[in-house]
Chain A
């Protein structure tokens, strides 16, 4: 369990973020991982003879917030290893390339998006190192990098991202599963995809084959983001998710209630949630 509150500099928002993971009621191991991280400039002035130190204040401001959920693929040995390795590799890569997050503007935005995708590919390479003859662990990876007010999305697999604005909850990721693919092609109906289990077969996963989906979402105050593994969405309908996100006092309470709802419905899988609520700046 990890808690974090973050305040951005410049155009500011007060971000209340929290994450929670639970093994569920059936599985023996938790193969899910999550991370919430803050990228900030590290220079902190300790002592100086300078009179004007205001120029240093911006170095203490948050440059970006990072939210990640990964779900080690069930049925393949080492799902826990895959999700852990992927999140670790991803955050390390982003930390090493943090300089590019400080001044993202229109001209540098695509380079920035490329970096985010490269971070996912770096994680992919690290996980693939455990494979032999194409067989090995794999994981989903859903990542949001927030440079207020813009959220940059990189998505691989069938974990999900949701956006709540007012009463409206919308999924901003699409499940990269065989079921979705074949339903899109018109080969099967959505019902057949669900009934046949094709909805559980990933066509894109870190450590296997990846087709990262890239997106952008501009946020407003009072918006909420939710990233989650399918251990939540197997058990909790979108309407109930929306109700919990709307009614919870804060991100911590929202996470606890969402996980509890999945457990109350059977908890057949590991369940992981990351909630980030966008508030007006304090002070």
Chain B
């Protein structure tokens, strides 16, 4: 079995904790609790014929990208960036966060989760804006921690990418 650290990165209230909760426990809560420091959960998944123990570091979301505590990122093999599709500023801040992450851990497999996809009527990120920023270095998808839409896919994509990364 291989063990991999994945960091959940995004500004406050984008749904990082809720995504982990949905993935690990298949649960969702409307209550908001801000994370202090890092909450760590684990989930084992199977990728091909390999078992991967995913160590999910849910980093506290701050007001601004510059406030990211980069010391928590050390040793990360994958990053899941999370923005709130109803708050376009959180999408823009992902790119600042990404610069800081790249400086700290280098380029590692990454996912950009456009979260809160269930709030369709409040969605504020244009498809064109998303496609402009799609490239081979990260996997971009819509997720909803509430309905579970895209959640499994996001985490399994990164587990697969990290496993392939480990083999090369």
Q: Which residue of B lies closest to A216 (CB)?
A: B38
Q: Does B40 interact with chain A (Cβ within 8 Å)?
A: yes
Chain B 22-70 residues near chain A, CB threshold 8 A: 27, 29-31, 33-34, 36-41, 55, 57, 69
Whether, in the assembled complex, A118 has its beta carbon less than 8 Å from a beta carbon of chain B, the answer is no
User: Are the C-beta atoms of A174 and B33 separated by less than 8 Å?
Assistant: yes
Is the CB–CB distance between B40 and A215 below 8 Å?
yes
Q: Does A195 contact B (CB under 8 A)?
A: no
In the bound complex, CA of A171 to CA of B35 (Å):
9
When distances are taken between beta carbons in the complex, the residues of chain B under 8 Å from A150 are 71
A26 is an interface residue with CB less than 8 A from chain B: no
- The answer to the question of A221 belonging to the interface, with a C-beta cut-off of 8 Å to chain B, is no
In the complex, whether A184 has a CB less than 8 A from a CB of chain B is: yes
- Number of A-B residue pairs, CB cutoff 8 Å, is 48
B74 at interface (Cβ–Cβ under 8 A)? yes
Interchain nearest-CB distance for B78 vs A (Å)? 14
| Given A171-B36, A184-B29, A217-B36, A109-B72 contact (CB < 8 Å) | no
Cβ–Cβ contact B74 & A170, under 8 A? no
B60 to chain A: closest residue by CB: A217
Contact of B40 among A184, A214, A218 (CB under 8 A): A214
8 A Cβ contacts from A183-206 to B: 183-186
Residues on A with C-beta less than 8 A from B71 are 150, 218
User: Which chain A residues border B69 with CB–CB below 8 Å?
Assistant: 218
Number of A interface residues at 8 Å Cβ cutoff, please give it. 23
Q: How far is the CA of A172 from the CA of B33 in the complex (A)?
A: 10
Residues of A within 8 A of B40 (CB): 113, 214-216
- Considering the chains assembled together, what is the distance between the CA atoms of A171 and B38 in angstroms? 13
* A215 touching B72, Cβ below 8 Å: no
By beta carbon, the residue of chain A nearest B75 is A106
Q: How far is the CA of A218 from the CA of B71 in the complex (A)?
A: 8
Bound-state CA distance A215–B72 (Å) is: 11
- Whether A186 touches B30, Cβ cut-off 8 Å, given contacts A107-B75, A217-B36, is yes
With an 8 A cutoff between CB atoms, is A163 at the interface? yes
Contacts of B75 in A (CB 8 A): 106-107, 109
* Cβ of B5 under 8 Å from chain A: yes
Choose one: A106, A185, A217; the contact of B74 (CB below 8 Å).
Answer: A106
**Contact present for A172 and B37 (CB under 8 Å):** yes
CA distance A255 to B36 in the complex (A): 23
User: Does B99 make an interface contact (CB < 8 A)?
Assistant: no
Residue A213, interface by CB 8 Å: yes
- Measured in the bound complex, the distance between the Cα atoms of B64 and A173 in whole Å is 23
Residue interface bits B65-91, CB-to-A below 8 A is 1, else 0: 000010110110000000000000000
**When A and B form their complex, which 10 residue pairs have the shortest distance between CB atoms, in order from nearest?**
A217-B37, A106-B75, A172-B36, A184-B29, A216-B38, A214-B40, A170-B36, A106-B74, A215-B39, A218-B71
Given contacts A163-B36, A213-B39, 4 further A-B contacts (CB under 8 A): A110-B5, A216-B40, A217-B36, A218-B71
Jot down 24 A-B pairs with beta carbons below 8 A, ordered by A: A106-B75, A107-B75, A109-B75, A110-B3, A153-B37, A170-B34, A171-B36, A172-B36, A172-B37, A174-B33, A184-B27, A184-B29, A184-B31, A185-B29, A186-B29, A186-B30, A214-B39, A214-B40, A215-B36, A216-B40, A218-B37, A218-B69, A218-B71, A218-B72
Which of B's residues lie within 8 Å of A, judged by CB? 3, 5, 27, 29-31, 33-34, 36-41, 55, 57, 69, 71-72, 74-75
A residues near B (Cβ < 8 Å) are 106-107, 109-110, 113, 150-151, 153, 163, 170-172, 174, 183-186, 213-218
